Structure 1
């Protein structure tokens, strides 16, 4: 692990513990056994560290989306990929998302930092909603609406379906955080997988088109 990455991981751990505003560059440097001057060779200031953390988290999110073959950006930015997403791709992505946000130390610390800061820092409040509430909800609503248009998903209110689909994600993340053993964490993950599978069984259209992801020629 390089020095820049060590600084990011250490800073994020401290931000998750005490909040972004409460942690100084001096403290981050001290945790790493380096001087502030040495740290400034890698990052201009604390804000630069924060921006790099956010960019890293969203880059990883986009990579998981690409691997699962679901849209990497919002519908407003790139609408076309939403028209080619399959039910299986959605399932794969959501399960990968849950594993990442419940198991990865960097992801968990990022989530804790935003949870701490959401009520006292307007910018981090906005980021919290982009990452965990209105952002994923809008993304899922757009997916369902486009799937309905292609006959992959039963007709209905895509917003309401998105709420029903996404709400257990954050609830079960919180339960996973409180788990006192690995078997408890696995059980929570299995609950989420069962939720996703049950939801798809309820709303995905039957037939060969749904099974194969529809006609990608549009």
Structure 2
């Protein structure tokens, strides 16, 4: 069967997530796929090109997820009107769905594990980890909550706390759920607990 670019990306990503980027060679990727290095190079010129394509693919999946759940797919400065039209209910549901995505999607789960391994190896990889796994989602949530506060979608308690702390509170629940999943806890139980916590968040701060 012909090996596609998608096959190469997923196989390389899994190896990167298990061993780290530096420990994986193009020979190892080709061997895992049962193809020659020449066949691999017809798709990607080197290991860095594979890594760059993995990042591009992940951003693409992120946009698709956001569009599917009716939340902004772009940064605030690129599309502020999207942030002003987002409902708290939709965003809370998106947060729960993010748990399914980051824990259950084969590509996303391996990507997250890869970045956890790679984050301390260079400033560039730390920035990538922060942008995609930590500060990026927190800033995204903060921008959404700023708009919701301005439109009186959130109550006075939320306004007093402020958008940044709301974002950190919401993200903390998702982050903990993913860490519990990493440790082998029952995924369905974690998801149910997360749903309860997110629903309590919504009830606590909804106007």
Instruction: Pick the TM interval, shorter chain.
Output: over 0.9
Task: Give the structure-2-normalised TM-score.
Answer: 0.93
Task: Give the structure-1-normalised TM-score.
Answer: 0.89
In the alignment, which of 195, 201, 204 is matched to residue 202 of structure 1? Answer: 204
Aligned twin of 1:160: 165
Judging changes above 3 Å, is the alpha-carbon distance between structure 1 residues 110 and 171 closer, same or farther for their aligned structure 2 residues? same
Shift, 1:164, TM fit:
1.0
Aligned twin of 1:7: 8
Structure 2 unaligned runs (5+)?
Answer: none
Aligned twin of 1:49: 50
- Structure-to-structure mapping, 1:6-85, within 5 angstroms: 6-85=7-86
Distance 1:2 1:74 in 2: 34
Tell me how large the CA RMSD over aligned residues is.
1.3
Task: Extract structure 1 runs of 4+ deviating beyond 2 A.
Answer: none
- 1:37-77 deviations in whole A, cap 9, x for unaligned? 11011112111111111111111111111111110011122
Judging changes above 3 Å, is the alpha-carbon distance between structure 1 residues 79 and 189 closer, same or farther for their aligned structure 2 residues? same
Structure 1 unaligned runs (5+)?
Answer: 206-218
Distance 2:164 2:190 in 1: 25
